[in-house]
Amino acid sequence: MRPVVFIYARSDSQRLPGKALMPLAGMPLVALVAARAARVGAQACVLVTTDRALDDQLAETGRALGLDVVRGHATDLVARSLQAIAETKATHFLRVNGDSPFFAPELAAAAMEHLRHADLVSNLIRRSFPYGVAVEWVSADAYADLSDSAADAEREHVTQHLYRQVSRLNALSVEQSRDDSHLRLALDTAQEHTDLTRLIGAQDPTQLSYWTACGLTKPEPFVTSPAKGAGAP
């Protein structure tokens, strides 16, 4: 088994252009996310970006961070993901958004323990964790099998088509009894950059858990089978 972390990022976000390389708590956002992703304990961490010239600097930064870099289609993220699977020989991949500075490696590492028994291990099937704290482990074989079923609009997303057909997958839902889904911890606007900077303060952003930053008790996740016909997150 070869589980690999795929960090998805690009340079031309509509609401906050250049955010992938924007400093947050003293380091570029992509470096912060990569440092947290390294704590998952997967076989490799890979930056999955586009093959456009405007992402050249991002790709160079990824390599300087010690990441493998896969560059593919700008808008077809299903095709780009299939390319990343082929180039890395991943048996499973963890989708990590490059705008998620509070991505929780502890949750992803715990979910990784279930990969031998599932095609999809996700905390988005029934969302109870904050926005920006996604955990999505996907079997490469299952992803390839369902890739042709993705509609054109779904191909702008990595996993949207999977949730539409979750009943076709051996899926496991990662949940908690407390509902933190109202919290937004992704970086998508200038105001969110200000808010997240304040939330991190002087603490180490590569180690700071979202629950500590938000004054919450540590989550106690559990894994369950989703109800048949569960919808997309």
Residue type, position 96, single letter:
V
* pLDDT tens-digit map of 125-168: 999 999 999 999 999 999 999 999 999 999 999 999 999 999 99
Q: Residue 101: inside a domain, yes or no?
A: yes
pLDDT of residue 191: 96
Check pLDDT > 50 for residue 11. Answer: yes
* pLDDT tens-digit map of 32-78: 999 999 999 999 999 999 999 999 999 999 999 999 999 999 999 99
Q: Residue 83: inside a domain, yes or no?
A: yes
Q: Residue 232: inside a domain, yes or no?
A: no
How much is the average pLDDT of 219-231?
76
Q: Which domain holds residue 43?
A: 3-224
Q: Residue 188: inside a domain, yes or no?
A: yes
d(CA 63, CA 61): 5
Q: Residue 57: inside a domain, yes or no?
A: yes
How much is the average pLDDT of 212-226?
95
Q: Residue 231: inside a domain, yes or no?
A: no
Among 144, 171, 152, 191, residue whose Cα is nearest residue 233: 171
- Characterize the bridge pairing of strands 120-122 and 68-72: unpaired
Q: Residue 10: inside a domain, yes or no?
A: yes
Q: Residue 151: inside a domain, yes or no?
A: yes
Residue type, position 4, single letter:
V
d(CA 213, CA 153): 36
User: What's the chain's average pLDDT?
Assistant: 95
Count: domains in the chain: 1
Check pLDDT > 90 for residue 196. Answer: yes
CATH number at residue 178: 3.90.550.10
In the block, tokens 């960090």 appear at 7
Check pLDDT > 50 for residue 229. Answer: no
pLDDT of residue 223: 95
